[in-house]
Amino acid sequence: MKSIRTLLTVMRKELRDIFRDRRTLLLALGMSPLLAPILLVGLGTLGESRARSQIEKPLELPVVGREHAPNLIAWLEGQNVVIKAPPKDIAAAIANQEEDVILRIGADFPGQWRKSLPAPLEIIRDSTRQDAEIPAKRLQALLSTYGGQTGSLRLLARGVSPGTATAIQIRQTDLATPEAQRGRMLSFILPYFLIISAFLGGAALILDATAGERERQSLEPLLATPAPRGAIVSGKIAAACALALASLLLTLLAFKLGALLSPTVGRQMEVSFMAIAQLLLILVPMVFIGTTLLTYLAASAKSMKEAQSHMTWLMLLPMLPTIVLIVNPVKTQLWQFAVPFLAQNQLILKVVRGEAIGLQQWAIYLAAGFGLAAILWFAATRRYQQEQLAISG
């Protein structure tokens, strides 16, 4: 009972200290909620608007050797394509992003065309430039359409049904739910943003409450009291977790508000309160994991500057699952829900895609998450038992 009273006293003391520092409190509670609609909704709206404008506006196409295929040029001009003179240095024009895509018609095109043989066309582009992807796909689709129409007319002129050249007919059935399709654009940004918000949400408080107090030499009087050190460190962790949970909840609500207010992305996805509740439950273990890990690291640091140096590599940890899944996509397996960061990534994607999370998956995830948090809490408590903790420098 005494330990609980000590825990609550330390918790109130740390929260009172952070509330006195209005600027730090504003950054801790307001930064993520402000960035949520800007990053997740604003960038999505901007990307969608840009893609739509590239699709709807006329395609400006430099053509090398346009005199070799006048019929093709005339057909392209009727398909919202503006034919331009080619640049003198094609490679430099592509490299300097002066042109997105260039079409080259070889000198042997007319001869091959008259013989009803495949006539050569060359699409010149830089595949590493994402801004040129849509124009290149538009040109590829137009040329495929023109080639298909011409091939069908050639068969009809010879009294052959165009269907004869098509041995099979492929139909595709996409079983992706509307929620999954709407969540595709968020599959890379959303997990990392939410995980980092939960993982480091209590950093400001816990670094100041441990490394900061040690540097100011105000930690020694607190540790000199007869209060159990386990209760003291638990009170600090509880205060940081409370601050992180408040910031996380505000972030999720800001994301929902931004989705509702967005003129484009908001109409494509639905962020229900049930989804927010699931995301909050998913991220609660990450709050405790991040806070206890920061407590241990800050208690091991000799100064505030040394403790803050850990933030660089800590911010990279949530990126690892996203990078691994991009390079090596894997099917969802049960063991993944016990791996930190990967588990959160997979579960967040399930919620965004509108997929159900099984009881076994929840059980494994919550047990592994809170189990790791308990181990880190024990390590932080043991660190607080060391007498040199109260000594600065």
What's the CA gap between 270 and 262, in Å, rounded?
A: 12
* Residue 142 phi, psi dihedral angles, 5° rounding: -65, -45
Residue 59 is assigned to a structural domain of this protein: yes
Q: Are residues 82 and 227 in the same domain?
A: no
Q: Are residues 194 and 284 in the same domain?
A: yes
What's the CA gap between 299 and 107, in Å, rounded?
A: 74
Host domain of residue 91:
54-145
Q: Percent of the chain having pLDDT more than 70?
A: 82
Last residue of a domain, one of 145, 171, 199: 145
Q: Are residues 223 and 267 in the same domain?
A: yes
Over residues 210-224, the mean pLDDT reads 75
Q: Are residues 241 and 374 in the same domain?
A: yes
Q: Are residues 28 and 71 in the same domain?
A: no
Q: Are residues 40 and 58 in the same domain?
A: no
Residue 236 is assigned to a structural domain of this protein: yes
Phi-psi region of 274 (alpha: psi -120 to 50; beta: other; left: phi over 0): alpha
Q: What is the pLDDT of residues 151-182, one digit of tens each?
A: 888 878 777 777 766 666 666 665 555 545 55
Residue 155 is assigned to a structural domain of this protein: no
pTM: 0.70
Residue 166 is assigned to a structural domain of this protein: no
Residue 139 is assigned to a structural domain of this protein: yes
The distance in angstroms from the start CA to the end CA of the chain is 35
User: What is residue 132's predicted lDDT score, i.e. its pLDDT?
Assistant: 79
Last residue of a domain, one of 121, 145, 169: 145
Residue 19: pLDDT band by 50, 70, 90 thresholds? confident
Residue 177 is assigned to a structural domain of this protein: no
Q: Are residues 207 and 85 in the same domain?
A: no
CATH number for position 118: 3.40.190.10
Over residues 309-332, the mean pLDDT reads 79
Residue 168 is assigned to a structural domain of this protein: no
Q: Are residues 24 and 97 in the same domain?
A: no
CB atoms inside a 10 Å sphere around CB 62? 21
Q: Are residues 263 and 120 in the same domain?
A: no
Our count of domains for the chain comes to 2
Q: Are residues 292 and 258 in the same domain?
A: yes
Residue 173 is assigned to a structural domain of this protein: no
pLDDT of 109 higher than 70: yes
Q: Are residues 9 and 85 in the same domain?
A: no
- 102-105: strand order across its sheet: 81-84, 59-64, 102-105, 121-124
Q: Are residues 109 and 204 in the same domain?
A: no
pLDDT of 239 higher than 60: yes
